[in-house]
Amino acid sequence: MRLEGGIFNDFICSGDDLDIIATVQISKDSDGNHSYSGLLLENRIPVHLLGLLDEFHELSNSMSFSLVEPILEEIAKYKLRLKYSGLEIFDLLIEGNSISFVTTEPSIG
């Protein structure tokens, strides 16, 4: 559902059955065509996935890229995507009720 100012509501889904794991209010970032950020309105993201996301960002920030690949493979098993557009979600970052992600696979290293 599109709101004013390019902001819209959507759902983050997981798996082939598109299980809804989060409700978000997001907008496309001005600094890139594939970056989105906004608010996490409802969070049903599995605890295991949240741990993987935290570990991924910690390793990425510490430049431990050789350790990132197995974590990315585990995250990929969740098949994260936006419900309405069907866009795949990569580099998902959750800080409190803030959320950001990209919709093209980032290169690592």
pLDDT tens string 2-14: 556 688 999 999 9
Angle (deg, nearest 10), helices 47-61 and 65-76: 160
The pLDDT value given to residue 106: 59
Average pLDDT over residues 33-58: 95
The pLDDT value given to residue 105: 62
The pLDDT value given to residue 108: 47
Exposure of 19 in the CB half-sphere (CA atoms within 13 A) = 10
Structure tokens at 54: 């935290």
pLDDT tens string 58-92: 998 888 778 899 999 999 999 999 999 899 999 99
